[in-house]
Amino acid sequence: MSHLTPTRKFQRTTISESGTPAFRSGNAAFRDGGEFLLRYLSIIGLCFWMGGFTFYAGVVIHVGHRVFGSHREIGFLTREVTVWLNRTGVIVLLILLANHLFYSRTGSPWLKNIRLGTLLLMAAVQAALFLIHPRLDQILDFPGHAILNHSSFHSLHLLYINLSTLQWSAALVQLGAVLLEWRRSDQGRSLGGERTMMHQA
């Protein structure tokens, strides 16, 4: 005969065979759903933004040179592409900021500093890109597809490329820190669930 009290029996029946509670509060379920959505948007955003930048810089430009045979034509195409990359960057940075704030209270201090540092660097570079882009446009003759001042254009364009590469590098570090924080959070939650099971057993 079991010696468990009725309360004890109820505690045992609320734990499934997998070790997870059979019934969860609405707040916990809402939080888990929001956390999943935040992670999903962070990954999708970085894939679209920095993945798009990587593919364009590594593949599209080289293919365009072979097809069009003109650096000038590729330059005007790149101008249109970077407009959308910059707009996307603002949205993704806001998503990454939300992710950082979500994990800042309980997360690892050193991972928090890495996320914050790279996020601020990416945002500063993005602001600089927004300032440089119109100055590049002023040197271009769009109807004639011509460059009005080659020396000014090349110096600003080189600065733009270097800043974009710096932002890309910071995004890679940001992604690594985000993934490590998510892994740490999941491991801590799993250990917490195991302790709860042992306490209720």
What's the pLDDT tens digit per position in 113-150? 999 999 999 999 999 999 999 998 888 887 777 888 88
Specify if 113 maps to a domain.
Answer: yes
Query: Which residue(s) pair with 21 in the sheet?
Result: 15
Specify if 92 maps to a domain.
Answer: yes
**How far, CA to CA in Å, does 79 sit from each of 138, 157, 193, 199?**
12, 10, 52, 61
CB 121: neighbour CB atoms within 10 A?
A: 17
Specify if 4 maps to a domain.
Answer: no
Looking at residue 175, its pLDDT comes to 96
2 secondary structure, DSSP code? -
Ranges of the chain with pLDDT below 50: 1-2, 4-23
Specify if 20 maps to a domain.
Answer: no
Specify if 105 maps to a domain.
Answer: yes
Cα separation, 138 vs 83, in Å, equals: 15
Cα separation, 66 vs 99, in Å, equals: 41
